[in-house]
Amino acid sequence: MQEHNRGQWGSNLGFLMAAVGSAVGLGNIWGFPYKMGKTGGFAFLIVYLALVLLVGIVVMLGELALGRSTGKSPIEAYGALKAKYKIVGVMAIISPFVILCFYCVLGGMVMRYMLGFLVSIFGADGFSGQGDGFFGYLLYDYKGMILFFIIFLVVNMGIIMGGVQSGIERFTKIAMPALAVCLVIIIVFVAMQPGAKGGYEFMFKPDFSVFSDPDIGFFGVLKTAAGQMFFSLSLGMGAMITYGSYLSKKESLQRNSLIIPIADTVIALMAGMMVMPACAAYGIDFGKGPGLLFASMQGVFLDGMGGTIGNVMGFLFYFLVFIAAITSSISLLEACSATIIDKQIAKGKAPRRKTAAGIFTLCIFILGLPIALDALGSGGALVKAPYELMGLEAGGAGYAMWNDCWLDFYDLIAEGILMPLGALLMSLIFGWVVGPKYIYDECEQSGHPFKFKPYFDVCFKVIVPIIMVVVLYAQITDFF
Ligand code: TRP
């Protein structure tokens, strides 16, 4: 009966598309290239891939299995294991909320670029005369930042108010393949530009010199890659638990928890192979930071392709990135809302999906404002930087600069701390208390025998906990 109230996926394809839709988003297209660019290219890539294999797939399986076996959203799902584990579920609700605050600001920026190219197609000047340098201009165009932030929030809210099935499934089936095709076209185009080679060398030529960089080092690469991995795969918090809770017992969890990380990683690699060579070709510093995607793509569309073709491709690209961002942000908002909905069902009340989504959206708007108003820490912002509020020195945290910029600060809370901590607790719970058998049994419900028990045993019990402790250590020492 409960399943009736909450909704269920129409088919495995629908589930998979929505889960891949959740995973593939700004993390892959915007985050991956700029984080790789900041922390050494090849070295980052290797560490990232190792983390996907050793941690990502394992945590993915654990979250999906927990969601499906309990049929509940994060807090109640952990509570079903043991009442005191609810706290892990509470952490899992805080992260999507924190992420949404900056995700929707970035989503708004994507919409601004989309609109810029759209009007340029019709001969207007879509970038306020700034062309390539538009990113620097946009950051200080506070009215524009807020306007597009609001538009993105409203679109996001509208979809969640529509309900699980009609809201999420329909949206994703076409957009993901279309995005992949669009990336391929841009990758091929960029490959033909003079100078692009430097980008491939940066990504694929073995070079670990970043490990001896005093500002970054091995720990810097590890924690950046780990945060990025959780973020990109939508892990370490509620999203995949919630998604698993809507999944039918007939479907194979093992297969799904391989397909989602693989698809996500392929898209991230493609984004890297688009952005890095473009940086090399158009003279943009790999380590530029959060503006990397936007700056390098202006080079491609305005200077490289140019004219109407450039404008059309630019519009298409940002439109698809926007869809990818929306399918991710709805999964974040769904993770928040599902908690409230389950609470209401538990109390015997009719679920009020619309109210839940509306209240969260308002809170996200308020807490997201500093991110839209601080020009990403570029200086001259309308709001005080986190370090000013806390009475600290600017940039005291080395290259990460988490305290200069609200986006980085929110990011630090979510992907830097809460997600690794959530993954640590989860692996300890499943590795040592409940036992991994709980997960294997849930997997076998679909009638497929679980094949990789020894591998997952070691990962749950030892490998994931150790890596998470090291990541958290690296993160916390950064404060001092
Ligand atoms: N994975 C998404 C991206 O790469 C972001 C995202 C969506 C997410 N849902 C999530 C991150 C849940 C963490 C948890 O853009």
**Residue 139 CA to ligand 1 centre (angstroms):** 23
**Residue 328 CA to ligand 1 centre (angstroms):** 6
What's the confidence (pLDDT) of residue 335?
A: 78
When mean pLDDT is compared across 121-130, 161-170, 437-446, 471-480, the lowest value belongs to 161-170
What's the confidence (pLDDT) of residue 169?
A: 60
Provide the pLDDT confidence category of residue 396 given band limits of 50, 70 and 90.
very low
Ligand 1 pocket, residue 265 CB under 6 Å: no
pTM for the predicted model, two decimal places: 0.91
Task: Give the tens place of pLDDT for each residue, 330-341.
Answer: 888 887 887 788
When mean pLDDT is compared across 255-259, 315-319, 386-390, the lowest value belongs to 386-390
**Distance of alpha carbon 409 from alpha carbon 387, whole angstroms:** 10
**Distance of alpha carbon 85 from alpha carbon 446, whole angstroms:** 27
CA dihedral sign of residues 376, 378, 384, 389: positive
**Distance of alpha carbon 430 from alpha carbon 214, whole angstroms:** 37
* Closest CA relative to residue 23, chosen from 237, 256, 263: 263
Q: Is the pLDDT of residue 447 over 90?
A: no
Mean pLDDT of 356-366: 93
Mean pLDDT of 60-71: 94
When mean pLDDT is compared across 267-271, 316-320, 346-350, 421-425, the lowest value belongs to 346-350
Which atom of ligand 1 has the smallest separation from the CA of 264? 4
Mean pLDDT of 113-129: 94
**Residue 83 CA to ligand 1 centre (angstroms):** 27
Ligand 1 pocket, residue 331 CB under 6 Å: yes
Query: How does the average pLDDT of the chain come out, rounded?
Result: 88
Provide the pLDDT confidence category of residue 391 given band limits of 50, 70 and 90.
low
**Residue 123 CA to ligand 1 centre (angstroms):** 36
Task: Give the tens place of pLDDT for each residue, 141-186.
Answer: 999 999 999 999 999 998 888 765 455 566 667 778 889 999 999 9
Q: Is the pLDDT of residue 300 over 60?
A: yes
Mean pLDDT of 94-101: 91
Among protein residues, the one with the nearest Cα to ligand 1's atom 7 is 328
**Residue 410 CA to ligand 1 centre (angstroms):** 14
Ligand 1 pocket, residue 231 CB under 6 Å: yes
Among protein residues, the one with the nearest Cα to ligand 1's atom 10 is 234
pLDDT higher at 415 or 174? 415
Could you give the count of Cα atoms lying within 13 Å of 339 in the half-sphere of its Cβ? 23
Ligand 1 pocket, residue 464 CB under 6 Å: no
Q: Which two tokens stand for residue 21?
A: 């839709």
Q: Is the pLDDT of residue 1 over 80?
A: no
Q: Which two tokens stand for residue 3?
A: 């399943």
When mean pLDDT is compared across 62-71, 154-163, 213-222, 301-310, the lowest value belongs to 154-163
Q: Is the pLDDT of residue 10 over 70?
A: no
Q: Is the pLDDT of residue 278 over 90?
A: yes
Query: Taking a C-beta distance cutoff of 8 angstroms, is the pair 22, 420 a contact?
Result: no
Per-residue DSSP letter, 392: -
**Residue 231 CA to ligand 1 centre (angstroms):** 5
What's the confidence (pLDDT) of residue 166?
A: 55
* Closest CA relative to residue 92, chosen from 238, 302, 249, 227: 238
